[in-house]
Structure 1
Amino acid sequence: MHDDPRPDFLRNFCGKGQGPKPERLGIRLDESGTFLSEPGNTVVCHVVPDSPTQRAMIKVRDRLRELDRNGHFAWTPVSSYHMTVFNGVIESQREQDHWPAELALEASIADTTHYLMPRLTGARPAAPFSVKLDRITPFGLRVSGATSGDQEIIKDFRERLAQRFGYRKPDHDSYGLHLTMAYIVRWLPSEAVETYLPALQQMTAAFQAEIPVLELGPADFCTFENMNHFEPVLRLS
């Protein structure tokens, strides 16, 4: 049996208890679904282009779009699909536990990238690892290491990256690996659960049968201007 997505679904996508609007609205994207400038850097593994994994994700995206008849989500380009290994700095989170300890919070994003490049160049490359789908949500895929060994490799890699980046975010230990395909613009109504849950469960089962292990590229240190493109600047695995 798959994990019941109901708790995450209600907490993350329905408006009850969430406040008047999604917290990233007006920062990451606007009400029309246009992605705004929010530069930063990050460590990601891109989905291999033209792979069975990418094609399966496109099918998931198309089905999710069918469910989202009233435009509650903004969709990222297929070329941007990736799994975040470690969150770098981002313009909207200039906070001490999200920022290299040796740099001022006022440092430009370009300066943080320049600072991090030699630190990451000297890092031990990550060992190969694989991930599998845990479940599909309205925004994309939740994944984890394909085996316990893969999970340990990812955990060790993230620990070493935290040392190189010079900060450890509050959710470091609880961070859930994922591949984002969409961002929410408006909360879904609570009655959407009845439509989404069976569809999400069916999509999860179909994807797991078709793609037992996701085809991801190597881990890259990337820069970005918004959520539409992540430009590799340094190979880390």
Structure 2
Amino acid sequence: MQPPHEKPAKPPRRAFPDSVPSRASSNGEIQRWPGNTFICPFGDESPLRKILQKIQDTIRCRERLAQKMHFMPEISWHMTIFEGVNEENRAPGFWPLGKEGQELEDCTKEFLERLDGVELREEGLAPPYQMQVEGIAMRPGSVWLKIEAESRVEERRLRRLRDVLAKSIGLRTPTHESYEWHVGFCYLIRHLDDEDEAELRRIVDELETTVKVKFELKSLHFCDFENLHVFRSLLVLG
């Protein structure tokens, strides 16, 4: 038994960040990680394209840092509205109740059937959605753009949209209320040491004021995917 003044020992750190080996290998190769999701892709004219390209290019110029990251390709860039399910996480609450063992393909077909007839426009929930970039977030296993709705009214509309989608497909996850809007653009495939973290922080500080733009999400898609590079649109909602 530990003396009362001592803090419990921290669990040992995993050999690799959380994205390895599920999303990407330790060598940076994309891995099979199938699931379904609701996303808003970026149009060709979106200001986010230049922003994400600039951030990725800046990190790539730091070879030591870049070797520890997997950069998401332009074809994959999007903002998630509602997570759906994935093969890796079948814990209670993250698949429809009682269907944690369901085949993914059957789940996706069932979701499509349940989405048939959902009219977001009548509910005032159809795209476009007005958003803004708040900054760049350094997460333990990834780097994000932090996204917020442009106004409180738009934030309430998006939260209501999540509620409607959750009810439509019969899935309300434990993280439903706390979900943060974001755009992921790279995953860590190696842990960063203090020098790496300091270098990444310098990049973030250098670029953060340049990323704070407003943008519009013009379409909402229900998609399936085999990995996190390619999202196949099965249904356009709205």
Structure 1 and Structure 2 fold alike (TM over 0.5)? yes
Equivalent residue letter for 2:190:
R
Q: How far did 1:136 drift?
A: 1.3
- Could you say which structure has the larger radius of gyration? 2
Cα-to-partner distance string for 1:203-222 (whole Å, 9 max, x where unaligned): 120122xxx21243311101
8 Å CA contact 1:67, 1:196 repeated in 2: no
Higher helix proportion: 1
Cα-to-partner distance string for 1:69-121 (whole Å, 9 max, x where unaligned): 2411111110110000000110101122111225x322211101100012112
Counterpart check, 1:72 vs 2:68: yes
8 Å CA contact 2:39, 2:223 repeated in 1: yes
CA distance in 1, matches of 2:163, 2:27: 38
CA distance in 2, matches of 1:39, 1:217: 25
Equivalent residue letter for 1:35:
I
Name 1:136's counterpart in structure 2: 136
Where does 1:92-103 land on structure 2 (aligned, <5 Å)?
Answer: 92-101=88-97
Name 1:177's counterpart in structure 2: 181
- Compute the TM-score of the two structures, normalised by the length of structure 1: 0.85
8 Å CA contact 1:44, 1:220 repeated in 2: yes
Q: Which of the numbers 86, 93, 96 marks the counterpart of 1:90?
A: 86
Cα distance, 1:231–1:93 mapped onto 2, change above 3 Å: same
Backbone CA RMSD of aligned residues: 1.9
Equivalent residue letter for 1:20:
A
Where does 1:51-70 land on structure 2 (aligned, <5 Å)?
Answer: 51-67=46-62, 69-70=64-65
CA distance in 2, matches of 1:97, 1:44: 21
CA distance in 1, matches of 2:228, 2:82: 15
Equivalent residue letter for 1:94:
R
Equivalent residue letter for 1:89:
V
8 Å CA contact 1:91, 1:109 repeated in 2: yes
Q: How far did 1:17 drift?
A: 7.0
Q: What runs of 5+ residues in structure 1 fail to find an aligned partner?
A: 1-15
Q: How far did 1:41 drift?
A: 0.5
Name 2:225's counterpart in structure 1: 224
CA distance in 2, matches of 1:162, 1:133: 25
Q: How far did 1:18 drift?
A: 4.6
- SS at 2:109's partner residue? helix
CA distance in 2, matches of 1:51, 1:159: 27
Counterpart check, 1:157 vs 2:165: no
Name 2:149's counterpart in structure 1: 145
Percent identity of equivalent pairs: 27
Equivalent residue letter for 1:45:
C
- SS at 1:74's partner residue? strand
CA distance in 1, matches of 2:118, 2:83: 16
CA distance in 1, matches of 2:69, 2:133: 21
Equivalent residue letter for 2:147:
V
- Compute the TM-score of the two structures, normalised by the length of structure 2: 0.84
Q: How far did 1:230 drift?
A: 0.6
* Misfit runs of 4+, over 4 Å: none
